[in-house]
Amino acid sequence: MATSDTPRSAHARPTAGHEHSSAAQPSQQSGHSDNHAAYVALVHALLEHDRRYYVDNNPSITDHEYDVLRKRLDRIEAEHPDWVVPYSPSKRVGHVPLSAFPKVERSVPMLSLDNTYSAEELAEFDERVRRGLRSAGDPVPPAYILEPKIDGIGIELTYRDGVFILGTTRGDGLVGEDVTNNLRTIKSLPLSLRSPVGLTVRGEVYMQRDDFAQLNDARLKRGEEPFKNPRNAAGGALKQLDPRLVAERPLRVLLYELVDESGAGEHGHATHAAILDHLRALGLPVSRDIQRVDSLDALLTAVSAWQARRNSVPFDIDGLVIKVDRLAQRASLGMTARAPRWAIAYKFPAQQAITRLREIELNVGRTGTITPVAILDPVELAGTTVSRASLHNWDQVARLDLQVGDDVLVEKAGEIIPQIITVLRERRHGRERVLQPIVPPTTCPVCGDTLMRRADEVALRCPGTRPCPAQLREALAFFCNRAAMNIEGFGDKIVADLVARGLVKDVADLFSLTREQILALPRMGEKSADNLLAALTKSRKEATLSRFLTGLGMPLIGEVWAQKIADRYQSLDRLLQHSPEEVFAALAAIHGFGEERAGAVRDYLALGSTRALLNKFLTAGLSPREPERTLTSSTLLGKTLCITGTLSQPRGEIQRRIEAAGGKVTGSVSRKTSYLVIGSEPGEDKRKAAEKNSVPILDEEGLNRVLRGQ
């Protein structure tokens, strides 16, 4: 609550206008002598107040009264450290950082759910359930529980004698990681229950949209990169090895499944609805947006209503989870190899909205591509305010017959990227005079250079011959990113300042920056300057050839192909000892590399500006080498893997680990693929191809298990 580790200002607090319960009574005992029993009672009182504040949103004491109790707890624990119980509120933050997360194998796997996207598919699911129950001799029609499908991170919690003792990530379903100390920092997660039972429950860690917006605002003010979305921010928090950093994230938790329970006597749970009520009674956070329906018509009506009100809940949801309510019927229906037959996930279609195009903004990319961006009247879409949408290229503008002033239909592709679907031409009638045709530019909006279009491309490009500050800014950001040289601290603002002041004219100039030059940047302190210099020194020392080549951003060369080049030449010195034609011949001979890609490398190396840049790196003391790669195990010998989505490590690093275990990475899924590895925001085409070809799907934890031979 209003202590240093639980700031009231971070949460909307309703007025506490009702009478205090017995949980507030320890505040009346402040003049009494302390004893262990009073200390334990104080701990439970504070936990109950935390629960009412963070879970029920219904506090029973004021901030000041809570502070009095908390200060008393801190004093007692300082005087009697041997009294401190593991579920004390003081234990939410302060654990020393870990070096790694221990692995935990669970006896009951966390399975996936089958997905459905239409009313017709829901009707088919209902018919399968009814058919299965008839086959099992059960004449009772099924009733269903609807729960919002939180776009969060799956977890499993274990309580013993009512005390939280273990929290694990989903992992591959069977093996997760122990993130207990990180989960302890979440204020809505009770450290003790209202009854001394032992149980295992499952749910999601997530962030509310308002909390996420405040978190990103704070990061931007500190000059840090904002998080992409609440789910990524929550997942990244749970991966932190230092719980004190996790405590800075506004994480919350909701629970929806009871896996096992002991020590509570016979509750006689016959339905899922009864289980959720039981979890609430224990003080566990359960969604308030649960519905029970007893027919297909009622199910379809509820689903339709949810699509209209999906943004009324304060966190992101991407659909509904629909479960058979009666537990006996679930047992009759059973499971498939990967999912229960008694549950399904209904995924919401992408949301659409109508708004007006106000202007076209021109963005200059790293390679000089001029991308038109639509500036729109702000409109609410999938829980966020949308005011911009990429138009990809000028052919797209022509296909849409788009004009400034048009009313347009906007959709979020994959719930993430806004895009214009169509122009509402019928609304042009009577407004023709205010509409403005969109004409492709002929000069760069930043440097003024004449634009060009290659014969085989639709993109307009700035040739960058002047040079172009916008291209330089993008090139620097790309060079510093995690998948390339991984130079921390060089965010957009710092990069823009370096370019604006002429301190860097190419990416090699980064390694010639002095402390005095960095200190001269706006809002730059000595510690920040030293951190930037340390990051450059670290990058110079640890750079590998594959990361370096990735960071250069050669045409057609990403992490995978940069690794192939690095494997062939091993060092920048050795690469430069060969002529561009010799490099072309060597790369074209590599299986899968191809003459087009090899030709792009040849043409890049043949440029005088490229040779000058690479020699400049050598002069600055950067001479990256590729570590010798040896087969560290044979766990993936003869196996072919495909990767999709964002993982915790750069794609190139994941590929190196796979190849070190004898495996091979490809860019597509076929019947010959051994595994599809998926991260966050995976490509749906690859997932569907894997399901069609019965290719096993692994998340990152599953891949780690396979690499370990488990």
Catalytic residues: 149
List the Cα angle 393/398/399 in 5-degree steps: 95
Tokens read off for 318: 């991407």
DSSP 364-393: E-TT-BEEEEEEEEEEEETTEEEEEEE--S
Interatomic CA distance for residues 96 and 145, integer angstroms: 41
CA 693, distance to chain mean position in Å, is: 27
Cα–Cα distances in angstroms (integers) from residue 361 to residues 376, 438, 446, 493, 642, in the given order: 11, 11, 12, 20, 37
Q: Three-state SS across 317-367?
A: EEEEEEEECEHHHHHHHCECCCCECCEEEEECCCCEEEEEEEEEEEEECCC
Lookup result for tokens 């690499």: 707
Interatomic CA distance for residues 634 and 662, integer angstroms: 5
CA 580, distance to chain mean position in Å, is: 40
Q: Three-state SS across 220-270?
A: HHCCCCCCCCHHHHHHHHHCCCCHHHHCCCCCEEEEEEEEEEECCCCCCCC
Among residues 452, 335, 383, 426, which one has the least CA distance to residue 151?
A: 383
Neighbours of 201 (CB within 10 A): 21
Amino acid occupying residue 288: R
For residues 386 and 367, is the Cβ–Cβ distance under 8 A? no
Among residues 170, 180, 188, 313, which one has the least CA distance to residue 254?
A: 188
For residues 271 and 326, is the Cβ–Cβ distance under 8 A? yes
Task: Tell me the sheet residues that pair with 425.
Answer: none
Q: Three-state SS across 22-54?
A: HHHHHHHHCCCCCCHHHHHHHHHHHHHHHHHHH
Residue 644 φ/ψ region, left for φ over 0, alpha for ψ in the -120 to 50 degree band, beta for the rest: beta
Tokens read off for 483: 């998948």
Pairing of the two strands 664-666 and 640-644: parallel
Tokens read off for 417: 């990227």
Among residues 471, 466, 459, 465, which one has the least CA distance to residue 370?
A: 459
Interatomic CA distance for residues 375 and 39, integer angstroms: 59
- Per-residue buried b or exposed e for 370-387, using 16+ beta carbons within 10 Å of the residue's own CB: bbbebebeeeebbbbebe
Helix (H, G, I), strand (E, B) or coil at 708: coil
Lookup result for tokens 């004009």: 403
For residues 669 and 643, is the Cβ–Cβ distance under 8 A? no
DSSP 388-448: EEE--SHHHHHHHT-EET-EEEEEEETTTEEEEEEE-GGGGTT-GGG-EE----SB-TTT-
Amino acid occupying residue 239: K
CB-based contacts of 676: which residues, under 8 Å, 6+ apart? 641, 642, 643, 644, 669, 686, 687, 689, 690, 695, 696, 697, 698
